[in-house]
Amino acid sequence: MAAPRVVLLLSGKRKSGKDFVAEELRSRLGPDVCTILRLSGPLKEQYAKEHGLNFQRLLDASAYKETFRQDMIHWGEEKRRADPGFFCRAAVEGAVHPVWVVSDTRRLSDVEWFRDVYGDVVQTVRVVATEETRKRRNWVFVTGVDDAESECGLDQGVAFDWVITNDGDELALGEQLETLLQALHRSL
């Protein structure tokens, strides 16, 4: 595994547009330079194996995933308590691109693991959107999900290197991403 030159840890609330921002970054940097890593992928894959579920359906935005979300959150927390780096190690396995965008960083233990392992190449990015914008994207508050560590774990305790506002203004988003990309190019 080649060491990355830049690791961007994206975080934000559900329906803030983390995946969209991650895809925009990869598109602008190029697929030969940037890869998107998801901590939830290895989590969902292992959860599906242990519970006899359809892994592919757990990856999409379907009601199927929502049926298992709360139990999956609790199961993932148990795994993390036993080994805080379990899902982080699984996510980076085989990654060789110079820029890694981790699109779903959710906990302080995730940030700490990446900083411990990759040091100064790690930068934190918070993607924010108003509650109104998130509701337009079909977000509805769910007790036990939106107030759990998986959604609130980085609300405190991290001084983000970057804050990207993603409220649907394409021009404003583009300007913010260009500023971030200019800084990244200095590290490549």
| Under 8 Å between Cβ of 188 and 29 | no
Q: Which parts are annotated binding residues?
A: 13-19, 137, 166, 176
Residue list for the binding site for substrate: 166
DSSP element (H, E) containing 52: none
> Rounded to 5 degrees, what angle do the CA atoms 55, 58, 60 make?
120
Which of 87, 64, 62 has the alpha carbon at shortest distance from 76? 87
Alpha helices in 96-186 (DSSP H): 108-118, 131-136, 149-152, 170-185
Torsion-angle region of 60 (φ positive above 0: left; ψ -120 to 50: alpha; else: beta): beta
Residues tagged in the binding site annotation for ATP? 13-19, 137, 176
Give 75-82's long-range contacts (Cβ < 8 A, gap of 24+). Answer: 75/47, 75/50, 76/43, 76/47, 76/150, 77/149, 77/150, 79/43, 79/46, 80/107, 80/109
Locus of tokens 């960083």: 105
